[in-house]
Amino acid sequence: MANCSPLALVVNCGSSSLKFALFDTSLPSPLVDGLAERLGSDEASIRFDRNGTRRTTPIVGAGHQQAFDALLAFLTEHGLRDRIGVVGHRVVHGGERFTRSVEITAEVMAGIDDCAVLAPLHNPANLVGIRAAMAALPDAGHVAVFDTAFHQTIPEEAYLYALPQRFRRDFGVRRYGFHGTSHRYVAARAVEFLGLDPKDHGLIVLHLGNGASATAVSNGKSVDTSMGLTPVEGLVMGTRCGDVDAGALTYIARRAGLDVDALDAMVNKESGLLGLSELSNDCRTLEAAAAEGHAGARMALDVFAYRIARTVGALRMPLPRLDAVVFTGGIGENSASVRASVIARLGFLGMHLDEDANRAMRGGTAGCVSRSGRPAALVMPTDEERMIACDAAAIAFADAPVAFSVFSEAAE
Ligand code: ADP
């Protein structure tokens, strides 16, 4: 009975935003989704999308708690609130402690708090969302889904930095990796789409959005990834630099007189596509400018693609076999030119672009963009909210049969 199915609410709290989606556990698309943004300011507002209709309401000065109250008021108005059986909370950093999604207890909250030193902008905001949701929905189950958890299968030789090990012991300095929920979801969908053996496959997943990371997945497990202790390491991103000589940073700090905070802001907010192009962090803007002859935009896109292809080369090494390179994220799903530029550099893998298929692939569609043969180049839309809802439902409704799976036909 579809109208009696428990609902799974997904909550993703950023420092000044609250993103949400409400799923019926028997239906593929969310019943409601939306975003409260600019929280804590006079411009705070909350947007609801339901059945193709959008409603945006100002919530002047609202913080996370008030935004959550506005969300619940909307859900009450539409008769949905009482059907919420579980809330899935996105948590950015789970450190070494959280290797999978877990039901939230006082102990788990203390653990998330302990990991806040590793993600000082994100984990405290995630905890605010968890507290608000638990207070408002005390009878629902609450589940934490961690960005880092999927990568806890990466072996020590891949996650250690060659730094004095006392920093690992004392401060937890090692590579953790991020975007784990997206990589896990996309890898599972790719296995299903390509008809691969869940116990014998190899994939390299490229999550290319404002943040960007690449993960080598062997038989459903992350074996290496491009991000590290923080999401700055690895690929070139919108405003983050990705891999850079640590010596270059100390050199710049000395020459330009930057302190640690200024250096942190430079690598996080002023670098990447923005720093290279001196124009924009946005791929669409850069593609349009490059088409009109903007040399900086062209060069930024070339560096972006080159680094992605080089990372694919590096991540090929730990995989016993490679069945596909999978593109996802705003850029991976939509930019035919970035995909073409990356695949053109992957001839050494025996991969060749199918230009027609590539041009046609955008806006949430899945399919191969390489000529037949393996490894394939595949586009697979990500859906982190759906993955979080799946985990939350699987944990909270473990005893009940739930028609809710990323692998089910209903997901299409
Ligand atoms: P976030 O990491 O913030 O979730 P997204 O996954 O939404 O980011 O990706 C945002 C990026 O996707 C931006 O650089 C944007 O320009 C790019 N993008 C979105 N649509 C297109 C498109 N049609 N062509 C090229 N790039 C696109």
Note the pLDDT tens digit of each residue in 331-388.
Answer: 999 999 999 999 999 999 999 999 999 999 988 899 999 998 899 999 999 999 999 9
With a 6 Å cutoff on the Cβ, whether 284 touches ligand 1 is yes
**Mutation choice for ligand 1 from 208, 281, 285, 334, CB with most ligand atoms inside 8 A:** 334
Q: Which of 14-23, 213-222, 240-249, 282-291 has the lowest mean pLDDT?
A: 14-23
C-alpha radius of gyration, the chain, whole number: 21
- Whether residue 213 is predicted with pLDDT greater than 80 in this model: the reply is yes
Closest to 30 in 3D by CA, of 54, 46, 47, 49: 49
**How far apart are alpha carbons 241 and 153 in whole angstroms?**
26
**Mutation choice for ligand 1 from 182, 276, 283, 383, CB with most ligand atoms inside 8 A:** 283
Centre of ligand 1 to C-alpha 177, Å, is: 21
- Whether residue 409 is predicted with pLDDT greater than 50 in this model: the reply is no
**How far apart are alpha carbons 300 and 82 in whole angstroms?**
50
Instruction: Give me the half-sphere count of Cα atoms (radius 13 Å) on the Cβ side of residue 360.
Output: 10
Distant-in-sequence, close-in-space partners of 354: CB < 8 Å, separation ≥ 6: 368, 369, 370, 371
Residue with tokens 């390179």: 325
Q: Atom 23 (ligand 1): residue with closest C-alpha?
A: 334
What secondary structure letter does DSSP report for 129? H
Which atom in ligand 1 lies closest to the alpha carbon of residue 273? 14
> What does the pLDDT read at residue 400?
55
The answer to whether 21 and 385 are in contact (CB under 8 A) is: yes
Which residues are the active-site residues? 147
**How far apart are alpha carbons 13 and 92 in whole angstroms?**
10
With a 6 Å cutoff on the Cβ, whether 329 touches ligand 1 is yes
> What does the pLDDT read at residue 4?
57
Q: For residue 241, give the amino acid letter.
A: C
Distant-in-sequence, close-in-space partners of 137: CB < 8 Å, separation ≥ 6: 9, 72, 84, 87
Using one digit for the tens of pLDDT, what is the confidence trace for 273-314? 999 999 999 999 999 999 999 999 999 999 999 999 999 999
Centre of ligand 1 to C-alpha 338, Å, is: 11
Which atom in ligand 1 lies closest to the alpha carbon of residue 208? 6
Which atom in ligand 1 lies closest to the alpha carbon of residue 338? 25
Q: 283: annotated binding-site residue?
A: yes
With a 6 Å cutoff on the Cβ, whether 111 touches ligand 1 is no
**How far apart are alpha carbons 187 and 403 in whole angstroms?**
21
Q: 211: annotated binding-site residue?
A: yes
The answer to whether 223 and 216 are in contact (CB under 8 A) is: yes
Q: Atom 12 (ligand 1): residue with closest C-alpha?
A: 330
Q: Where does the pLDDT of residue 399 fall: very low under 50, low under 70, confident under 90, or very high at 90 and above?
A: low
Centre of ligand 1 to C-alpha 58, Å, is: 26
Centre of ligand 1 to C-alpha 186, Å, is: 17
> What does the pLDDT read at residue 403?
44
Centre of ligand 1 to C-alpha 376, Å, is: 23
Q: Which of 35-44, 45-54, 308-317, 393-402 has the lowest mean pLDDT?
A: 393-402
Q: Where does the pLDDT of residue 3 fall: very low under 50, low under 70, confident under 90, or very high at 90 and above?
A: very low
**Mean pLDDT of the residues in the chain:** 93
Which atom in ligand 1 lies closest to the alpha carbon of residue 238? 14
Q: 90: annotated binding-site residue?
A: yes
> What CA dihedral angle connects 126, 127, 133 and 139, to 10 degrees?
130
Farthest-apart Cα atoms in the chain, separation = 68
With a 6 Å cutoff on the Cβ, whether 143 touches ligand 1 is no
With a 6 Å cutoff on the Cβ, whether 283 touches ligand 1 is yes
Centre of ligand 1 to C-alpha 339, Å, is: 13
**How far apart are alpha carbons 248 and 253 in whole angstroms?**
8
What domains are defined for the chain? 2-146+385-408 (3.30.420.40), 198-381 (3.30.420.40)
